Amino acid sequence: MADETTFNRRPRDFALELVEEGRVSAEDMLNWCLGFMSGDDVRGMLDANELSPRFEEEEEEESEEYCVECDCPLTEEDLADGGALFCLDCIAEHEEG
């Protein structure tokens, strides 16, 4: 319950319960939390949850795929229609020949 005891002893639970009880929307609560936090707080929170840009860059490198024919890295455009094995150049060559 989002009552006074919860508010005093477990404020985070109190905030979550306000949302769970439908008294405020999750989106409002998110905006209030982010608005109340400093830029450093937000950056620290995002980093702790691996959502900061440095994690995105690492992930892209790890998940990079290569054309099975010419070994060039596949772009997101190449992979757009469900995981292509060939780059657009090689696909175009196959279609022509």
Report the b/e string of 7-26 with b at 16+ CB within 10 A.
eeeeeeebbebbbeeeeeee
87 contacts Zn ion (rule: CB under 5 A)? yes
84 contacts Zn ion (rule: CB under 5 A)? no
DSSP state of 63: T
65 contacts Zn ion (rule: CB under 5 A)? no
Tokens of 84: 């292509």
Contact region with Zn ion (CB under 5 A), list: 3-11, 17-25, 37-45, 60-68: 60-68
- Residue 42: which residues within 8 A CB-CB, separation 6 or more? 34
Among 24, 34, 70, 80, binds Zn ion (CB under 5 A): 70
67 contacts Zn ion (rule: CB under 5 A)? yes
74 contacts Zn ion (rule: CB under 5 A)? no
DSSP state of 24: S
Residue 70 Cβ, how far from Zn ion at the closest point, in Å?
3
Amino acid at 77: E
Contacts to Zn ion by CB under 5 A: 67, 69-70, 87, 90
